[in-house]
Structure 1
Amino acid sequence: MELTVYLAGQIHDDWRNEFEEKARKKKLPLNFVAPQTNHDLSDDIGDNILGEQPGKMYRDDAASSINNLRTQVLMQKSDIVIALFGEKYKQWNTAMDASAAITMNKPTILIRPESLIHPLKELSNKANVTVENIDQALDVLNYIFE
């Protein structure tokens, strides 16, 4: 059995590569999908497909529609969602993706540091499992196969 895992979270560092590499080392039968991690492409996709928009709001709206469609398709095809919250970057998209996954009844694991326990308490309560780091999330996934 293989599982498809949607890796939700900020796109400004290489946490997904770390997650995928550690999963490979554990020989977990996982396939990974994620939001568009090319930040420029994510911002430009509305203009690229629909043509130049008449202002920043319209540009963001066009890109958001296409990015949200992509996220919805990939998340719906996923077996489980991992949402990583870090301390360094704004986490609005991560919170949106985690909420969407929970609403879709997707098994959801939140990764969040101890410092974010309070601000994420309601979301954490709705997720299936909340852990503090990537290794713990991988241990949860590994347990599925034991």
Structure 2
Amino acid sequence: MSGRSWKVYLSGEIHSDWRERIAAGIAEAGLPVELTAPVTVHADSDDCGVAIFGDEPDKFWHDRKGAQLNAIRTSTLISEADVVVVRFGEQYKQWNAAFDAGYAAALGKPMVTLHPTEHDHALKEVDAAASAVARAPEQVVQALAYVIRGQLPQQAARDAAAE
């Protein structure tokens, strides 16, 4: 599938380095992938609406302005994505990630969920809608290498050694 660039949307928790690990793995593997994501600076995401459209005395409307603005970015990038990766982390409840997973599923987008085994039961319906379930960012990179190039991890290591 040479010449084709894949768009991969990275949804989910913003408190760990999982996105950076996927980006580094994609770069190392030389995969033709463009990564997109929501705004990952928590304060910017929360306050974008009031920063642009003006203050709100009521926290509900403050949050609503930001959520509606963020929805433009999220829905557009998920719609354009070839693959959606949704990360559910250990520390926080990720309602946005669950919404993104449902949106991707409704659009028929191939989806990879990324979470620890402790979340298996809670995410059973989300995982059932996913094409794959990964436990580590490196597995996401390996899955993309297989989907894009038909290359298993052992083949990638042999190819790199031969170069």
Q: Same fold (TM over 0.5)?
A: yes
Rounded to whole Å, the distance in 2 between the matches of 1:112 and 1:40 is 24
Give, as a single letter, the amino acid of the residue that structure 2 aligns with 1:131: A
Q: Which residue of 2 aligns with 1:107?
A: 110
CA deviation profile, 1:35-76 (whole Å, cap 9, x unmatched): 111111111111112111121111001100001111001111
Q: Percent identity?
A: 36
Residue pairs, 1:31-110, within 5 angstroms: 31-110=34-113
TM-score, length of structure 2 as denominator length: 0.86
Q: Which has the larger radius of gyration?
A: 2
* Partner amino acid, structure 2, of 1:133: A
Quick one: which of 5, 14, 24 aligns to 2:8?
A: 5
Whether contact under 8 Å (2:7, 2:36) holds in the other structure is: yes
Residue 119 of structure 1 aligns to a residue in which SS? coil
CA distance in 2, matches of 1:131, 1:13: 16
Which residue matches 2:126? 123
Paired with 1:122 and 1:90, the residues of 2 have a C-alpha distance of 16
Give the Å deviation of 1:14: 2.3
State the shift of 1:13 in Å: 2.4
User: Matches of 1:74 and 1:23 in 2, distance apart?
Assistant: 19
Check the 8 A contact 2:21/2:138 in 1, yes or no: no
Q: Secondary structure at the match of 1:109?
A: strand
| Cα distance in structure 1, aligned partners of 2:85 and 2:60 | 30
Deviation at 1:7, TM superposition (A): 0.2
Structure 2, unmatched stretches of 5+, are 151-163
Pick from 125, 133, 137: which aligns with 1:134?
137
2:59 is the counterpart of 1:24: no
Supply the RMSD in Å over aligned alpha carbons: 1.0
Residue range with higher mean Cα deviation, 8-17 or 76-85: 8-17
